[in-house]
Structure 1
Amino acid sequence: MIKYILQCVFVLLLISCGKQEGTSRDKKPVGDLVDLVNPLMGTDSEFKLSNGNTYPAIATPWGMNFWTPMTNNMGDGWTYKYDDYKIRGIKQTHQPSPWINDYAAFSLMATTGELKFQEDERASWFSHKAETVKPHHYSVYLADYDVVAEVTPTERAAQFKFTFPESEESYIILDAFFKGSMVKIIPEERKIIGYCRNNSGGVPDNFHNYFVAEFDKDFEVHHTWSDGWELAKNSLDSEGEHVGAIIGFKTKKGEAVHVKVASSFISHEQAQINLSREIGKDTFEQTKEKAKQAWENELGRIVVEDDNQDNLETFYSSLYRVLLFPRKFYEFDKDNKVVHYSPYNGKVLPGYMFTDNGFWDTFRAVFPFFNMMYPELNGKIMEGLANTYKESGWLPEWASPGHRDCMIGSNSAPIIADAFLKGVKNMDTELLLEAMLKNATQLEGRPVNSVGRAGLDYYNDLGYVPYNVGIHENAARTLEYAYADFTIAKMAEKLGKTEIAEKYFKQSMNYKNLFDPSTNLMRGKNKEGDFQSPFNPLKWGDAFTEGNSLHYTWSVFHDIDG
């Protein structure tokens, strides 16, 4: 999902900045910018072709929680596919990429008639003609049950609205998902609480997502299920590998049942605080309007003038994707102090934390963009990186929510140095430089292979990561380490650390070790000093990462003249 076409943001931004004097002002977007966003863009996914790979994220900018309709099985990274026909529920999601997959997910679904609660059985036919998809609001008609399901978000909570037909048997199902979950129904409070623990890695042993759901209608029926979809009628609680809760009631035609939901990675008490603070007594429409305004505020930092409606929709749909990640992984305690559950050591600690970002995907464009347009946000992200180093001993390269073994490079360094050099405030520069230097000098103790620098011993000894020593994507690593060295040097230089700066300026020229003058291209090199052979500059992958020699030959951002 992160690998979205950010380039169009800058192309259109340049076009807008280059508007000639006297150009008509009626080319500005008419109406609300959020209405130009199409969250379904990129959802026509096909795994074998690796196209699409997004889902409609119903969220606020950088929100801790997103919500999305599920057309696919629980646990499938391609959770929503445009060409699917059935919806299984609307889930809370934290998925940054289908390959990284999701964590801390649970879902709500409404049904009528004979009780169907198992995932496949409860799925309802739907049509895009009866689906409204906006960043701040999702609505769908569940044809099998004659129910309209809606959701609108806050950063850590959401409101659901289920509009039922006349029915003697109307149900709302909370599926707490697999890999460890708990539910408890509290009829006298019209409430369900629980937790889910599903994840795809990168979490401590005590990882939980605690949730609370408050309803505005009395429960006439309450069931739970336990492992193996075993229904326990008239029960109030269940805990196991995969459990869920069912509440039911009679409904009149057009009756709307509302559910206010919030969650916390800290505790049930904190989830209740998040719910009370972010929704409180607000109506569904009030929450919806606040979420809409949150998007208007951020999208409105850039106004593009164009008489081509498709260009405007492409631009703002792309900007919406850019403003989803990295995710705010922090909360405000009862005293309104910023705290976070650490996805690295499992402790609740003060300060900011962000997650769900792969820096290989974002260091070239997203973070420089943040420095220009959202410097205050990036200052908080820098504090989060410092906290990650304190809590895990390393900077993240792909976090979701903790360290994940994905992609290559040492691209936390360019992100930090760029923020520092562009004047982002309140950075712990000494600590962050220490962390950058650790990446560049220490091989042992890395929590996963993507953290630090794989092949560091070869790189520091030979000036490159060899092709024939069993380290994949070696040429790409060399080129990206060299650029990271340059950014370390620039930061050290501004801090007055001359010796460090000189060392890493010199080391940043290591890219030259892979330049083959016989082809004028970058090329993998063996440990013995000869270039890898046979050489095909069009070969995808191998010594390079999601590209080939023709692409990576240009990956020398710090020495364009050569």
Structure 2
Amino acid sequence: MKNLILLFFSALAWGCCETPKHEISLRPSEYVTTLVGTQSDYSLSTGNTYPAVALPWGMNFWTPQTGKMGDGWAYTYGSHTIRGLKQTHQPSPWINDYGQFSIMPVRGKDKVDENARQSWFSHQSETAKPYYYSVYLADHDVVAEMAPTDRAAVLRFTFPESDESGVVIDAFDRGSQVKVMPDSRTVVGYTTRNSGGVPDNFRNWFVIRFDKPIESSKLFDGEREIAGSSVEGGHALAAVYFTTRRGEQVTARVASSFISEEQALRNLETEVGDADFETVKARAQERWDEVLGRIEVSGGTEEQYRTFYSCLYRSTLFPRKFYEIDAKGNPVHYSPYNGEVLPGYMYTDTGFWDTFRCLFPLLNLVYPSVNAEIQAGLANTYRESGFLPEWASPGHRGCMVGNNSASVVADAILKGVTPAEDVATLYEAMLAGRDKVHPTVSSTGRLGHEYYNTLGYVPYNVGINENAARTLEYAYDDWCIAQTAKMLGKDEDAKRLEKASQNYKNLFDPETRLMRGRNEDGTFQSPFSPYKWGDAFTEGNSWHYTWSVFHDPEGLATLMGGKTEFGKMLDSVFVVPPIYDDSYYGFRIHEITEMQVANMGNYAHGNQPAQHMIYLYNYVGQPWKAQWWTREVMDRLYSSKPDGYCGDEDNGQTSAWYVFSALGFYPVCPGSDEYAVGSPLFRKAAIHLENGQTVEIDAPQNCAENRYVGRMTVDGKVTGKTFLEYGELLGGAKIAFGMQPEPDKDRGAKPGDAPYSMSREDCR
């Protein structure tokens, strides 16, 4: 095995940097393409994204719709026709959508239902930016454009000469309404179509105001035409018509609300008013430049800039705002947990199983004021439902495992991001979540807590699926709560929780040196295959989940027989072939395929449990391997193309991995104040913090050939550490990397050079 590993690294050539480098020449938003990840389908994900036209963390997104109504793959790059321009709140095709309706410009009064109105289009006549989307709809001879605000949008249609130019408003099925108002310019209505996580009184109210009078209209409930100016039924649609000259532009100003029709109108007046299309577009681009510009990079290639800023765009979409601003200027929200309209913030559309890993740490470092609102919203979620969410869209959804809200909440409290008035409530919420499970959504709270709290693990043979994954994540989550308890002076809680955080040891099998499901009587599951996906684990196998001891890699290394053996086991992940056992699922899930085609052995970067694994080399004195593999993953598995991801993008997590890694460090253990160092991608980077300080990262010798760190200084002082501390970054820091083509195997090899591990906390 040792010889095989050496083959990976002997391929590096000595020599000077020859990679072409370009200075940034465009605004950050101009480097973003929202089409990254859209060349996906059910069987193979290259992101499973759609081109979201939105503001950062905006309440409403808009997207061209190539799929049929209700299809989770709303837009796929290989499609040839568009059925509508859709308001969407979809966080993932697997979770699907809610609060959705579409608008479609047409030519012809027989082009109403989604099949009749669809139009061929070409990517050659499509522009997809965060702040702007444009497409030529060939069958209607119409150019359609969109520009967003937080809760509204402006759509502009350039029509041909026709007395049958029209716009179809499709409020979708499962209960909806559309009304053409007497002013002959306004259409209002509501949509209820959702995929779960909503109370019975859920509505998304919308208002559409045209700048040209409506000359005629037709209304439908499904295929049945309805007389009059209003339709309310199972599937409401309206088609409104104009006479247009060639090149005439008709503008539609659109807003929606989860509170009321009146609030939807307020959102429209507040966020758009009389502003024209170009003004709204310019404002949206300015907002994206502000958010993306918090991180400046230079000394890279054009493709690296496009990939970096496209990833940063994806990192700042979710979770989305689910609050609105009332007549007095105060935040107010419809609660997706109890159906009431209540004061305060609310955010939604994120799965913590994914995003606790580095998306939320990115917010805490670069966008803490946003996460302060998110944390206030989490406190409201607990008050309104009795639980913190684990997967919210818009309310509690049954998806994935773990209790990783504890990580998201603890990291924000420990870094001083959480509003002071919400800290006590959120601490109470974390403790409460340890000892109960939601009555209807088993992934919220802790399924199997009774076993975990008595045996120290969730048994394999008691009918609780993915039990080993739950145990490992619960143990880390307990560590997170313990750190908060210590900060708050809750010493008894801290002691109890830190003991529980050692429960990961209960699943370690010394025979295989891997994590393994364990029966209630203490015996390990048998038969056992480390290549079996699912079963005791979640969307992965034992090779992936064994490393889910974020808070104590050194403790895990001790179980494996020491750091040398730990390093060999890590090497093995990349060396063993992409063998898999899919018998738990009964078919090959797309995550398995994505591991196979990556050609990195059994390393599965396309799914989140493995994404921190590379950085664990830092904990056993082999940081040069982390430097090799981080560059390898960035170079091979990410791009700005439509197939630019190696698996599900998942609400910013996979993108945030690239953002952190390109900067040269990564938060292996949220809840600690340390980041493991990797290999920076750019020659220069600057992180402009909200407190006015700047983190400067300088790597003047950086290039494709020089991926190894030979020397590192922080504020001018040479350091052998393989980690950075949150405090030194927060105060503004100057970090310099001396990059070279061959590894320095002595640097970072001393015990004190490694990042945090609970097992040696007292030795720091």
Alignment TM-score, normalising by the size of structure 2: 0.69
- Is the 1:36–1:317 contact (alpha carbons within 8 Å) kept by the matching residues of 2? yes
What is the identity percentage for the equivalent residue pairs of Structure 1 and Structure 2?
Answer: 59
Superposition pairs of residues 150-229 of structure 1, within 5 angstroms: 150-226=145-221, 228-229=222-223
Structure showing greater Rg: 2
The equivalent of 1:394 in structure 2 is 387
The equivalent of 1:469 in structure 2 is 462
Q: Could you tell me how far apart the structure 2 residues matched to 1:490 and 1:387 are?
A: 23
1:403-429 deviation per Cα after TM superposition (whole angstroms, max 9, x unaligned): 000000000001111011111141411
Q: Which amino acid aligns with 2:296?
A: V
The equivalent of 1:9 in structure 2 is none
Where 1:47 maps in the other structure, the secondary structure is coil
Where 2:155 maps in the other structure, the secondary structure is strand
Q: Could you tell me how far apart the structure 2 residues matched to 1:224 and 1:177 are?
A: 13
Q: Give yes or no for the alignment of 1:94 onto 2:89.
A: yes
Q: Which amino acid aligns with 1:236?
A: S
1:11-36 deviation per Cα after TM superposition (whole angstroms, max 9, x unaligned): xxxxxxxxxxxxxxx84421111111
The equivalent of 2:143 in structure 1 is 148
Give the unaligned 5+ runs of structure 1.
Answer: 1-25
Superposition pairs of residues 516-555 of structure 1, within 5 angstroms: 516-555=509-548
Alpha-carbon offset, residue 107 of structure 1 = 0.5
Superposition pairs of residues 58-73 of structure 1, within 5 angstroms: 58-73=53-68
1:456-511 deviation per Cα after TM superposition (whole angstroms, max 9, x unaligned): 11111110001111111110000000000001110001100000000000000000
Where 2:183 maps in the other structure, the secondary structure is helix
Alpha-carbon offset, residue 317 of structure 1 = 0.7
Where 2:243 maps in the other structure, the secondary structure is strand
Q: Could you tell me how far apart the structure 1 residues matched to 2:109 and 2:294 are?
A: 50
Of 433, 442, 462, the match for 1:439: 433
Q: Give yes or no for the alignment of 1:231 onto 2:218.
A: no
Q: Could you tell me how far apart the structure 1 residues matched to 2:57 and 2:238 are?
A: 29
Superposition pairs of residues 87-486 of structure 1, within 5 angstroms: 87-226=82-221, 228-232=222-226, 235-427=228-420, 428-443=422-437, 445-486=438-479
1:127-178 deviation per Cα after TM superposition (whole angstroms, max 9, x unaligned): 1111111111111101001000111100000001000010121111100001
Alpha-carbon offset, residue 114 of structure 1 = 4.3
Q: Which amino acid aligns with 2:360?
A: F
Q: Which amino acid aligns with 1:511?
A: Y
Alpha-carbon offset, residue 187 of structure 1 = 4.1
- Is the 1:394–1:446 contact (alpha carbons within 8 Å) kept by the matching residues of 2? no
Q: Could you tell me how far apart the structure 1 residues matched to 2:511 and 2:362 are?
A: 37
- Superposed CA RMSD in Å reads 1.4
Deviates more, 1:262-271 or 1:300-309: 300-309
- Is the 2:53–2:147 contact (alpha carbons within 8 Å) kept by the matching residues of 1? yes
- Is the 1:225–1:245 contact (alpha carbons within 8 Å) kept by the matching residues of 2? yes
Q: Which amino acid aligns with 1:531?
A: F
Return the structure number with greater relative CO, CA threshold 8 A, min gap 6: 2
- Is the 1:229–1:243 contact (alpha carbons within 8 Å) kept by the matching residues of 2? no
Where 2:298 maps in the other structure, the secondary structure is coil
Alignment TM-score, normalising by the size of structure 1: 0.94
Q: Which amino acid aligns with 2:89?
A: H
1:268-313 deviation per Cα after TM superposition (whole angstroms, max 9, x unaligned): 1100110000001111000000011111000000011133111111
Q: Could you tell me how far apart the structure 1 residues matched to 2:377 and 2:247 are?
A: 46
Where 1:81 maps in the other structure, the secondary structure is coil
Alpha-carbon offset, residue 540 of structure 1 = 1.4
Paired residues in the alignment total 536
Q: Which amino acid aligns with 2:62?
A: W
Q: Could you tell me how far apart the structure 2 residues matched to 1:490 and 1:31 are?
A: 43
Q: Could you tell me how far apart the structure 1 residues matched to 2:374 and 2:131 are?
A: 24
Q: Give yes or no for the alignment of 1:47 onto 2:53.
A: no
The equivalent of 2:485 in structure 1 is 492
Q: Which runs of 4+ in 1 moved over 4 A?
A: none
Q: Could you tell me how far apart the structure 2 residues matched to 1:73 and 1:525 are?
A: 45
Where 2:282 maps in the other structure, the secondary structure is helix
Alpha-carbon offset, residue 536 of structure 1 = 1.0
Alpha-carbon offset, residue 61 of structure 1 = 0.3
Where 2:197 maps in the other structure, the secondary structure is coil
Alpha-carbon offset, residue 344 of structure 1 = 0.4
Alpha-carbon offset, residue 52 of structure 1 = 3.4
Where 1:304 maps in the other structure, the secondary structure is strand
Where 2:54 maps in the other structure, the secondary structure is coil
Q: Which amino acid aligns with 2:295?
A: I
1:171-199 deviation per Cα after TM superposition (whole angstroms, max 9, x unaligned): 11100001110011014251001000010
Q: Could you tell me how far apart the structure 1 residues matched to 2:480 and 2:382 are?
A: 18
- Is the 1:394–1:435 contact (alpha carbons within 8 Å) kept by the matching residues of 2? yes
Q: Could you tell me how far apart the structure 2 residues matched to 1:425 and 1:389 are?
A: 15
Q: Could you tell me how far apart the structure 2 residues matched to 1:452 and 1:308 are?
A: 45
Where 2:279 maps in the other structure, the secondary structure is helix
Where 1:314 maps in the other structure, the secondary structure is helix
Deviates more, 1:421-430 or 1:237-246: 421-430
1:326-346 deviation per Cα after TM superposition (whole angstroms, max 9, x unaligned): 010000001111100000001
- Is the 2:320–2:348 contact (alpha carbons within 8 Å) kept by the matching residues of 1? yes
Give the unaligned 5+ runs of structure 2.
Answer: 1-20, 556-764
- Is the 2:22–2:302 contact (alpha carbons within 8 Å) kept by the matching residues of 1? no
Deviates more, 1:26-35 or 1:254-263: 26-35
